[in-house]
């Protein structure tokens, strides 16, 4: 892999509750400079980031029902539509984890179908966040099977705000179910090149991280500043 290939796998992330306009301006500036694939943000700054990144080739990704997933399907659909209206190129939504634990698989499929269909109609990439730290291996497998049927563009390990982040074993499990039909995004706790490469080797084709610059610098052999990000 070369620097460009690595950069194009990175979703450059700013999802903190206290992020200000200057933080999003910095995020977008860095994404342009390093050639990252996407900026991952909450819905509110979508319009700002869309304007800042217009014509750069960097996508704007809005996180829906983030980070808990505990909103109604109608709320998630409306949030998705509004984010797309404001310029989102990609949608990362959090599943209703409680409904999965209740084994209400019809609900999980209905929720996924609704969001994926909106994304398809608008030529927007869809990603489904499982939040694996709260799930059993059987639940991860079941969600992957539902995704195999519905066909979002990606299934994703984590929000980065739960009790744990991406695990190599989970990436491998998810990929083993969806195979080449759906891509896998790993996110949460990916702060260095070694972890990045482990996720890629396990089958991840997109990486969500706020440490993308450090990862690129490490790959290029440059000096790395201390990493304090949680995501």
**Catalytic residues, which ones?**
92, 156, 185
Query: Locate tokens 């639940």: which residue?
Result: 139
In angstroms, the CA 209 to CA 223 distance is 19
In angstroms, the CA 166 to CA 68 distance is 16
Q: What backbone torsions phi and psi does residue 156 show, to the nearest 5 degrees? A: -130, 145
DSSP 43: S
Q: Is 145 helix (H, G, I), strand (E, B) or coil?
A: helix
Q: Which residues contact 28 (CB under 8 A, 6 or more apart)?
A: 39, 49, 52, 53, 58
Radius of gyration of the chain (CA): 16
Q: What backbone torsions phi and psi does residue 155 show, to the nearest 5 degrees? A: -115, 145
């Amino acid at each position: 892999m070369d620097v460009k290939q690595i950069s194009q796998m990175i979703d450059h992330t700013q999802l903190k509750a206290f992020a200000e306009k200057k933080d999003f301006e910095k995020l977008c500036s860095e994404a342009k400079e390093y050639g990252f694939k996407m900026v991952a943000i909450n819905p509110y700054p979508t319009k700002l980031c869309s304007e800042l990144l217009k014509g750069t080739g960097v996508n704007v990704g809005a996180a829906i029902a983030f980070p808990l997933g505990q909103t109604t399907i109608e709320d998630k659909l409306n949030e998705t539509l509004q984010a797309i209206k404001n310029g989102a190129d990609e949608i990362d939504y959090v599943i209703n984890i409680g409904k999965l634990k209740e084994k209400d698989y019809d609900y999980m499929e209905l929720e996924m179908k609704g969001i994926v269909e909106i994304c398809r109609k608008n030529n927007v990439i869809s990603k489904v966040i499982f939040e694996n730290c709260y799930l059993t291996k059987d639940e991860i497998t079941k969600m992957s099977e539902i995704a195999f049927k519905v066909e979002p563009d990606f299934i994703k390990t984590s929000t980065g705000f739960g009790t744990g982040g991406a695990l190599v074993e989970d990436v491998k499990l998810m990929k083993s179910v969806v195979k080449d039909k759906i891509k896998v995004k790993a996110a949460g706790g990916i702060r260095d090149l070694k972890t990045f490469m482990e996720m890629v080797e396990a089958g991840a084709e997109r990486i969500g991280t706020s440490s993308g610059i450090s990862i690129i610098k490490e790959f290029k052999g440059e000096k790395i500043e201390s990493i304090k990000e949680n995501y």
